[in-house]
Amino acid sequence: MSELLLDLHNVTKLYPGVKALDNVDFALKRGEIHCLVGENGSGKSTMIKIISGVVAPEPGARLQMDGQTLTGGRARNMVDMGVRVIYQDLALFPNLSVQENIAFGLYGDTRGSLVNWRAVKKRAREAMSLIGLELDLSRSVASLSIAEQQQVEIARAIMGELKLLILDEPTASLTRAEVDRLFEVIQTLKARDIATLFVSHKLNEIFEIAERVTVFRDGRNLGAFDPASLDQNELVYLMTGQRVTTEPPKAVNEDAGVLLEVSNLSKARNYRDVSFTLRQGEILGIIGRLGSGRSELALSLFGMNPADEGTVQLDGQSLTLTTNAQATQAGIAYVPENRLTQGLVMPQSILANLTVTVLNTLMGRSGLLSANKRKQLAQDWVSRLAIKIPNLAAAVQTLSGGNQQKVVLSKWLATNPKVLILDEPTVGIDVYAKNSVHALVKQLAEDGMGIIMISDEVSEVLSNCHRVLVMDRGHILDEIIPGPDAENDLLTRFNLA
């Protein structure tokens, strides 16, 4: 029996407009804990889809699993061979019970077409005890927490002949205790000779658990490394292809006044007693993991998630924030965390997306929209932010991630805001676009705008902000001033990396 569990050669995958994988080789050993890292768009998700058989590679690839040569392409095929994937957006059935979700693939081993409910219950209980999970079997999955749902998925995965478990960004929304629990489970699996492919961009976790690390960049495999031979900086360099040197933002003007003052803001089941100020020209970072309340807070400031209590003052004026139209009117703009679903209307034109926030100022004399004014405004922003576009009438979805993000920024900068809230402003865009977004943000601050930058990426907030608020479970825990010890501080005190 070969030492390799999975052995892939010459894997290429094309999507309309993108070459997601470019002639990649990739291998996994039996029972190893292997990390796959890479920036967004590096091809790692596509690789997972190919390994799990969800998509088929272009002809010419050679795929071997467990010594057998595969034709690839069908999920069933790979599932039969012992591959299971747990995606970030979990693949459970919310309307079904815990036991049914766990035993879904088998339905209690019953041959024929009927379900043996007793066997379902028994097998589900067995699977749960293997990973030490305790839950009411008949509870509906919709009522579980994310961490519990993840464990249910792992329990489901080990039901069959599991040989390889793939976890896609499994820790994004887990607390430290939950992460420890997950790592325990992974070690349990290893003891049973089950390999784990762990996809993550949290470098500290990689160093904590991985036996080998494979780095992907621009659809290519840069090789498998021993984590002991790498350090954090080296890994970042491998992933991004450049040494990151970011200029810290220029100090805030001494006589700059307070622009935004948030006092004792609370919202039930979102966040409690949040207070902070933002000065003119200041970049304030908010860091916290998914579910810390950071986005909920931002949405409250943008009027889309009205707070229950507390006040928000802008330039000394108290604001009523119950709709985002009010917030925009007052001078608060918000670049949402998800560009695809919230930031832009993808199938519509660049022109329309760029101007939608300010249509009322683009009217002609007849009470109709002025085509000239719209074009002029859009053209203006395209050149100011150096957005690469084919033409203004093209759909935004034809642009690259970085250029799309610039369109989102433009559409909000066009409203001439006093406060700009950026929620994960550089997710899924390449390093060059990332740098230019950061440079733009600093420039805007120098021109007097107040900026709130929300991120779960420590390096992003530390290198771009004047101050950083740490948020967890709806509270602001501390304020950190970026400096030599800040990174260590965040890691040791708040486990943020």
Partner 1 sequence: MFANLRTRYQAWQNTNSDVAALPWLLAAVLIIMIALTRGSFLGTSNILNLLSQMPELGLLSLAMMVAMITAGIDLAIISSANLSAVVMALVLTQLMPAEASSATVWSFVVLAIVIGLLTSAFLGAINGYLIGYVEVPAVLATLGTMILYEGVTLAITRGFVISGLPDQFLLLGNARILGIPIQMLIFAVVAIILSLLLQKRPYGVHLYFVGSNPTATAFSGVNVRRVLLRTYITSGLLSGIAAIVMLARFNSANARQGSSLLLLTVLICMLGGTDPYGGFGRVSGLVLALVILQMVTSGLNLLGVNSFAAVALWGAMLVGVIVYKFVQRRRWEQQGKQQLS
Partner 2 sequence: MPNAKSSNPLTRLFRYNQTYLLIILIVLVAVVSLINPRFFSGRNAMQILRSASFTGILSIGFLFVLIAGGLDISFTATATVAQYLMALLLANNPEIPIALAIILPMLIGTLLGSINALLIHGLNAPSIIIAIANLNIYYGLLQLFSGGQWIYSFPRWFNRLGRGYLFRFTDANGAPYGIAYITLMWLGVALVGFVILHYSKLGRRLYALGGKLEAARRAGLSIFRLRLFAYGFLGFCAGVAGLVQALDTQTVAPNALVGREFDVVAAVVLGGANIFGGTGTITGTLLGVALITVITNALTLLRVPAYWHQVFIGAVVLASISITSLRAKLAKRNERTIDVR
Instruction: For residue 258, state whether it binds partner 2 (rule: CB under 8 A).
Output: no
Rounded to the nearest whole angstrom, what is the least distance from the CB of residue 347 to partner 2 in the complex? Answer: 15
CA 378 – CA 382 distance, rounded (Å): 6
The residue whose two tokens read 């010419």 is: 60
Distances (CA, A) of 486 to 48, 290, 391, 458, 462: 35, 21, 44, 9, 8
At 190 the three-state DSSP class reads: helix
Q: Which of 56, 290, 304, 427 binds partner 1 (CB under 8 A)?
A: 304
Q: Which of residues 19-78 bind partner 1 (CB under 8 A)?
A: 19, 58
The secondary structure element, H or E, covering residue 453 is strand 450-455
Q: Which of residues 262-291 bind partner 2 (CB under 8 A)?
A: 268-272, 291
Q: Which of 474, 480, 482, 490 binds partner 2 (CB under 8 A)?
A: 474
x-marked contacts with partner 1 along 408-447 as a string, rule CB under 8 A: ---x------------------------------------
CA 177 – CA 168 distance, rounded (Å): 19
Strand partners, 309: 266
Instruction: For residue 54, state whether it binds partner 2 (rule: CB under 8 A).
Output: yes
Instruction: Please say whether the beta carbons of 353 and 396 come within 8 A.
Output: yes
CA 190 – CA 125 distance, rounded (Å): 21
Instruction: Please say whether the beta carbons of 207 and 240 come within 8 A.
Output: no
Instruction: Please say whether the beta carbons of 349 and 390 come within 8 A.
Output: no
Burial class (CB in 10 A: 0-12, 13-18, 19+), 336: buried
Token pair in block for residue 387: 């957005």
Token pair in block for residue 210: 């991985």
Strand partners, 140: 97
CA 229 – CA 105 distance, rounded (Å): 41
CA 443 – CA 306 distance, rounded (Å): 31
Instruction: For residue 17, state whether it binds partner 1 (rule: CB under 8 A).
Output: yes
x-marked contacts with partner 2 along 298-317 as a string, rule CB under 8 A: -------x------------
Instruction: For residue 334, state whether it binds partner 1 (rule: CB under 8 A).
Output: yes
Q: Which of 68, 113, 366, 383 binds partner 2 (CB under 8 A)?
A: 113
DSSP 233: H
Task: Name the phi and psi angles at 446, rounded to 5.
Answer: -60, -30
Stretch that binds partner 2, among 134-142, 322-330, 334-342, 398-406 (CB under 8 A): 134-142
| Nearer Cβ to partner 1 (26/302) | 302
| Nearer Cβ to partner 2 (168/487) | 168
Q: Which of residues 377-406 bind partner 1 (CB under 8 A)?
A: 393
Rounded to the nearest whole angstrom, what is the least distance from the CB of residue 351 to partner 1 in the complex? Answer: 10
**Residue (of 253, 258, 257, 211) closest to 230 by Cα position:** 211
| Nearer Cβ to partner 2 (216/271) | 271
x-marked contacts with partner 2 along 200-239 as a string, rule CB under 8 A: ----------------------------------------
Instruction: For residue 375, state whether it binds partner 1 (rule: CB under 8 A).
Output: no
Instruction: For residue 104, state whether it binds partner 2 (rule: CB under 8 A).
Output: yes
Contact footprint for partner 1 (CB under 8 A): 14-19, 58, 304, 323-325, 328, 334, 336, 341-348, 352, 355-357, 359-360, 368-369, 393, 411
Contact footprint for partner 2 (CB under 8 A): 54, 74-76, 79, 85, 87, 89-97, 100, 104-105, 107, 110, 113-115, 117, 136, 138-140, 143, 268-272, 291-293, 296, 305, 473-475
